Amino acid sequence: MSDENSTAPQPLTGVRVLDLTTVLSGPLCTMMLGDAGADVIKVEPPTGDPARRMGPPFWGGESCEFLALNRNKRSIVLDLKSEEQRQRFYDLCRDADVIVENYRTGVTDRLGISYEDIASINPRIVYCSISGFGRTGPRGTEPAYDAIMQAFVGMMASTGHPGDEPVRVNTSIADIGAAMSANQAILLALLARHNTGRGQRVEASMFETQLSWLLYRAVGYFATGSAPAKKMGSGAPHVVPYEAYPTADGFLVAGALNDRLYYKMVEAMELPELATDARFVTNEDRVHNRIELTELLRARFSEHPTKTWVEWLTEAGIPHSPVNSVEDVLNDPQTVAREMIADIDHPVAGRIRVPGIPIKLSDTPGSIRLAPPALGEHQAEILGTAADLTAGARGDD
């Protein structure tokens, strides 16, 4: 177990979270709350979070996806279709501060655990619902996964190279984004409760988060009436140069988001004539003449290995990076220096390594205190009963 900052004060110490979520967006949101000191109780169905079985890869028989998303939590098992066990859940709700759920729309009503049900027991509850499309509107009842949402919000149509098939960003950005939105929503509601004494229902969805991330592309559409789904590889539609270039032995990304950096970049590349070429003097010029400039830069970058370009561009102060693999970045000195790898002693998998806490607070830092729990590991500790893992499953709720 990483003991980094384990004795330091925590921002959410004393906040109890009931985690009804599964798979990715919900568990990531509640893990973030746990990292900040909240007591997160993961309430699982008898079959457990489906993420426990997702893989490969596995680590000591444990799903790496589950291990990545469920530290700093305690696990209990409750079949919420059972009246008796639902009453136990209500008992937990009386002293809880936050509930997070990511059921499909309508399921919490059928189970008797909707916001209205819980608020009647505990008016101070902050009740967060995470969904695909949001709980209302014509798509409010539709299921969604990360790839579906990347397709729906227009990202896949413009990702990849011209002429190629649509490409999904190879990490679950829709799920992760929804988790971040939900985490912020919960913290805002807790702050509001501090002022009003009342809880409230909050929502976050993959759809709304990804739509908000369109930012300047959306505003560009509103301004011009056009937002073509133009594939540009690693390039950006509104800035040139800003993409990956082939070197003599690999690829390197370099970018100049203003004219001053562009002039410094072409000087460092020993192409001073490109600074005064009328086609490339301003960023607007460079966007209009993207193909010509890109061909010239690609030809120059291909003359030297990546290491040489890293040295030259670093000296010139030009933002750049080799195109790293996951292995490269996990072993980079910057990753170590920023304490972004944590070791945890897991009761089954042994010592595991996970990404660290990305948010740094000087006085109330987060910490990793608990390994991802075994199914029902804390049943007796929390409920005073042994876990009954053979009870009926919650099915596809």
pLDDT digits (tens, 9 = 90+) for 236-287: 888 999 999 999 999 999 999 999 999 999 999 999 999 999 999 999 999 9
Chain-centroid distance of CA 350 in Å reads 26
User: Would you mind telling me the total number of residues written for the chain in this entry?
Assistant: 397
Please write the tens of the pLDDT for every residue from 171-201.
999 999 999 999 999 999 999 999 999 999 9
CB 323 within 8 A of CB 251: yes
Mean pLDDT confidence for 89-99? 98
Mean pLDDT confidence for 24-45? 98
Q: Establish if 158 belongs to a structural domain.
A: yes
Cα 75 from Cα 347, distance rounded (Å): 14
29 and 137 assigned to the same domain: yes
**The domain containing residue 149 runs over which residues?**
16-213+331-383
373: CATH: 3.40.50.10540
- What does 197-249 look like in DSSP terms, one character per residue? S--EEEEEEHHHHHHHHTTHHHHHHHHHS-------BT-BTTBSSEEEEE-SS
290: CATH: 3.30.1540.10
Cα 25 from Cα 143, distance rounded (Å): 14
* Rg for the chain, CA atoms, rounded: 25
38 and 177 assigned to the same domain: yes
121 and 270 assigned to the same domain: no
Q: Domain boundary residue among 303, 322, 341?
A: 322
Number of domains in the chain: 2
Whether residue 175 lies in the annotated active site: yes
95 and 125 assigned to the same domain: yes
pLDDT band at 390 (very low <50, low <70, confident <90, very high): very low
189 and 153 assigned to the same domain: yes
Q: Which range among 129-138, 229-238, 382-391 shows the weakest confidence by mean pLDDT? A: 382-391
- Percent share of the chain, pLDDT over 70: 95
143 and 90 assigned to the same domain: yes
Q: Look-up: residue for tokens 């330091």?
A: 8
Please write the tens of the pLDDT for every residue from 293-323.
999 999 999 999 999 999 999 999 999 999 9
Is the backbone peptide bond immediately before 166 cis, with ω within 30 degrees of 0? no
pLDDT band at 6 (very low <50, low <70, confident <90, very high): low
Catalytic residue among 39, 79, 146, 175: 175
Residue 133 has pLDDT above 70, yes or no: yes
171 and 153 assigned to the same domain: yes
Under DSSP, the state recorded for 159 is: S
CB 214 within 8 A of CB 153: yes
